């Protein structure tokens, strides 16, 4: 009898801890990212257009992303689970292959962009008007390669794999679970994502589509690959500033 009581108590404690962990990721993480979007260097970059802060700002985002993944892995470990339990089934060797293939594709896109820019004139006024979400210099494009991999990998692990899986574990319908996960995804993109209707719609639609892909396939790899390719294409946004 005593053993049964201890087992029930342990299960109850584990369940409560799991719910708290979910709230930390679903609500706590987006709040941290949102606050980061209000920092002076974020305002300097996106409001005042100081592109010199592109690399410092995105460096902070990279740190936040990978820290979030470390925290999620720790939460999973508490429940004796691993990344494969939330849809990421690649082992270390296959993950390294994924990274290698990504960097090959990214360097090809980078090379194409750099070569093309040698033969087309850039309108400095159009360039100044281009959103500072996009890389405008060679150095920024090199750094952007790392930023894209971080976003594509970490965001899918956290806001599709972990959040949707954990929501379904507390008896929320898997199709409904896509919605709160989508809102969390929007908020990690900061104040810009909620102050402009078009931006909110873009990020939320993105989240819903990727949520549907994950729920349908139960695998994160398709999401990660598509996410990487979409974000990587932003490297070529510089072509919008071509002098015509």
Using one digit for the tens of pLDDT, what is the confidence trace for 125-163?
888 888 888 999 999 999 999 999 999 999 999 999 999
Non-local (6+) Cβ contacts of 139 within 8 A are 55
DSSP letter (8 states) at residue 242: B
Non-local (6+) Cβ contacts of 64 within 8 A are 32, 33, 36
Flag whether pLDDT at 221 surpasses 70. Answer: yes
Residues of the domain holding 172:
2-241
Non-local (6+) Cβ contacts of 205 within 8 A are none
3-state secondary structure of 91: coil
5: number of CA atoms within 13 Å, CB side?
2
Non-local (6+) Cβ contacts of 170 within 8 A are 19, 22
* Tally of domains within the chain: 1
**Residue 182: pLDDT band with limits 50, 70, 90:** very high
**Residue 10: pLDDT band with limits 50, 70, 90:** very low
- Whole-number mean pLDDT of the chain? 92
- Please give the pLDDT value at position 9: 42
Structure tokens at 59: 């460096």
**pTM for the complete prediction?**
0.91
Q: Residues 74-86: what's their mean pLDDT?
A: 95
- Please give the pLDDT value at position 198: 86
Backbone angles phi, psi at 122, to 5 degrees: -105, 130
Give the 3-state secondary structure percentages of the chain, helix then strand then coil, rounded to 5: 80, 0, 20
Q: Residues 89-111: what's their mean pLDDT?
A: 97
3-state secondary structure of 84: helix
Q: Would you tell me how many other CB atoms lie within 10 Å of the CB of residue 41?
A: 14
Backbone angles phi, psi at 134, to 5 degrees: -100, 145
Flag whether pLDDT at 8 surpasses 60. Answer: no
- Please give the pLDDT value at position 243: 74
């Amino acid at each position: 009898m005593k053993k049964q009581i201890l087992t029930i108590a342990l299960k109850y404690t584990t369940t409560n801890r799991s719910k708290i962990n979910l709230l930390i990721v679903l609500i706590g993480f987006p709040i941290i990212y949102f606050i980061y979007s209000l920092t002076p260097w974020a305002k300097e970059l996106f409001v005042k257009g100081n592109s010199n802060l592109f690399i410092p700002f995105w460096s902070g985002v990279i740190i936040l992303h990978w820290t979030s993944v470390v925290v999620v892995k720790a939460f999973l470990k508490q429940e004796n689970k691993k990344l494969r339990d939330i849809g990421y089934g690649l082992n270390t060797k296959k993950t390294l292959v994924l990274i290698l293939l990504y960097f090959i594709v990214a360097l090809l896109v980078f090379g194409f962009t750099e070569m093309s820019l040698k033969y087309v004139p850039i309108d400095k006024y159009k360039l100044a008007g281009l959103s500072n979400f996009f890389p405008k210099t060679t150095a920024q494009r090199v750094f952007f390669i790392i930023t894209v991999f971080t976003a594509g990998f970490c965001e899918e692990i956290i806001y599709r794999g972990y959040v949707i899986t954990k929501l379904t574990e507390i008896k929320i319908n898997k199709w409904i679970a896509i919605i709160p996960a989508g809102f969390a995804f929007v908020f990690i993109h900061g104040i810009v994502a909620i102050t402009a209707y078009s931006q909110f719609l873009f990020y939320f639609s993105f989240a819903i589509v990727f949520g549907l892909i994950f729920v349908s396939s139960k695998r994160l790899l398709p999401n990660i690959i598509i996410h990487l390719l979409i974000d990587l294409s932003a490297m070529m946004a510089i072509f919008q500033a071509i002098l015509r």
